[in-house]
Amino acid sequence: MRRGNIIKLVALVLLLAASVVLSIKPLLDSVRGIPLGLDLRGGVHLVLQAELNKNGTPITNDDLDKAKAIIAKRVNDLGVSEPTVQADYNKKRIVIDLAGITDPDKAVDILKTTAKLTFRNPQGKVVLQGDELSDAKAGQDPTKVDFVVNLTFSSEGAQRFADLTTKYLGQQIGIYLDDKLLANPRVDTPILNGQGFINGYATLESAAKDAVLMRSGSLPVSMTISEKHQVGASLGTDSLHKSIQAGLYGLIVIFLFMLIFYRLPGVVADFSLVVYGLIVLWVFWTFRVVLTLPGIAGFILSIGMAVDFNIIIYERVKEEVRAGKSLRTGVESGFSRAFITVIDAHVTTFIAAMTLYYLGSGSIRGFALTLGVGIIASLFTAITFTRLVLRLVVGISPKLNTAWFGVRRGV
């Protein structure tokens, strides 16, 4: 029995060490690792304010939802990783965080553009709306040196476009984006397959910009920039380094505290904290939780709660041992007595975290999410890993000196 417990302990330590080593590269990878938020990676924070409709009708929540969906699609087409796009219904605005973006002015220009695409007959009357499009892609005209936007219409739009090109054969149909003329081609032959193109672009980049606007659709309301804050990459990197440094210092103090006051159980608690940290970080990685400074604060706070869990348990164990019980019985009784207290504290904090998550926004939600994940992970670690290891430790020798648990008989 004693030999088996020793083998299991050694195996657990080796497994934990291997897990730490194998987790370093994937978790810290700059591309595929845990995604970093605006304040840690740098980028741009935007607030787009919806303007009143020209006809005087009020801006509805449905308008904001549609605008949010269209802006989110444009952001995705820009290739920005882990963007945050939120609607503020009270203030009628869209809040956007774009981490790691290299050209904020270009992004701003694309995101706030109304992008209403229309096709007009020779008399200037709108005869086809851009919402009949199913796709728009930038490309190069194979017969010329300029670039084009290839248009693909929906089934209904293809029929309407075929009717138009047949009706206005030999005439010009103007293509406008936000009342700006993009092209005014002459219809030389009816277009019956639902595909066309806009030519005359000098660069592929300018064609791609308009293609993004066309395929994402037009905004239901006009948007203006009310806030724009740019965070430099160097500032974000500095914040990340300082956060990591502060976290490491805090962990060292916690590890030493547990070792000094709780001896052998303190060693177990330190290993439990490592397991806890791995669980939380892998959850962040798996579900692509964007890590921000408030999120790191929530993570560190949950570490404190994990330590508090262990302290409550160990104090109960010490009380049982001082009362004359064996270490094995003291460990079991200590866990049982501490469980209700710990569950109560963690559940109430978890409820508070979830309340913040559902009622808050932006960085508040990041803080609440990391805190909530940390609480669940700390409960799981203490109930499973800490209890398992303590059982193995006291099972090695029934007559283990209680001083190793910070207890002297009769004290």
346 with 241, same domain: the answer is: yes
Structural domains of the chain, count: 3
254 with 400, same domain: the answer is: yes
The answer to whether residue 355 is domain-embedded is: yes
Domain region containing 197: 115-218
The answer to whether residue 312 is domain-embedded is: yes
pLDDT tens per residue across span 362-389: 678 888 888 899 999 988 898 888 888 8
pLDDT tens per residue across span 2-19: 778 888 888 988 999 999
287 with 156, same domain: the answer is: no
pLDDT tens per residue across span 142-195: 777 788 888 898 888 899 889 999 999 989 988 888 888 888 888 888 888 888
The answer to whether residue 332 is domain-embedded is: yes
User: Does the pLDDT at position 220 exceed 70?
Assistant: yes
How much is the pLDDT for 94? Answer: 92
CATH of the domain at 280: 1.20.1640.10
122 with 107, same domain: the answer is: no
CATH of the domain at 49: 3.30.70.3400
Among 231, 260, 287, the domain-final residue is 231
Please list, in sequence order, all residues whose beta carbon lies within 8 angstroms of the beta carbon of residue 326, skipping any fewer than 6 positions away: 398
188 with 236, same domain: the answer is: no
Query: Which has the higher per-residue pLDDT, 73 or 282?
Result: 282
The answer to whether residue 410 is domain-embedded is: no
268 with 320, same domain: the answer is: yes
How much is the pLDDT for 80? Answer: 66
Which 3 state secondary structure label does DSSP give 229? strand
- Any idea which residue has 């009717």 for tokens? 163
The answer to whether residue 210 is domain-embedded is: yes
The answer to whether residue 272 is domain-embedded is: yes
Alpha carbons 375 and 283: distance in angstroms, whole number? 13
Among 187, 206, 231, the domain-final residue is 231
Number of helices followed by number of strands (H, E) in the chain: 11, 11
128 with 194, same domain: the answer is: yes
The answer to whether residue 411 is domain-embedded is: no
CA distances from 4 to 42, 269, 397 (A): 52, 22, 12
Among 218, 242, 268, the domain-final residue is 218
The answer to whether residue 281 is domain-embedded is: yes
175 with 225, same domain: the answer is: no
55 with 167, same domain: the answer is: no
C-alpha torsion angle, residues 128, 134, 137, 142 (rounded to 10) = -70
359 with 255, same domain: the answer is: yes
388 with 268, same domain: the answer is: yes
User: Does the pLDDT at position 275 exceed 60?
Assistant: yes
User: Does the pLDDT at position 56 exceed 80?
Assistant: no
User: Does the pLDDT at position 411 exceed 50?
Assistant: no
355 with 389, same domain: the answer is: yes
Alpha carbons 143 and 77: distance in angstroms, whole number? 28
Alpha carbons 241 and 246: distance in angstroms, whole number? 9
CATH of the domain at 150: 3.30.1360.200
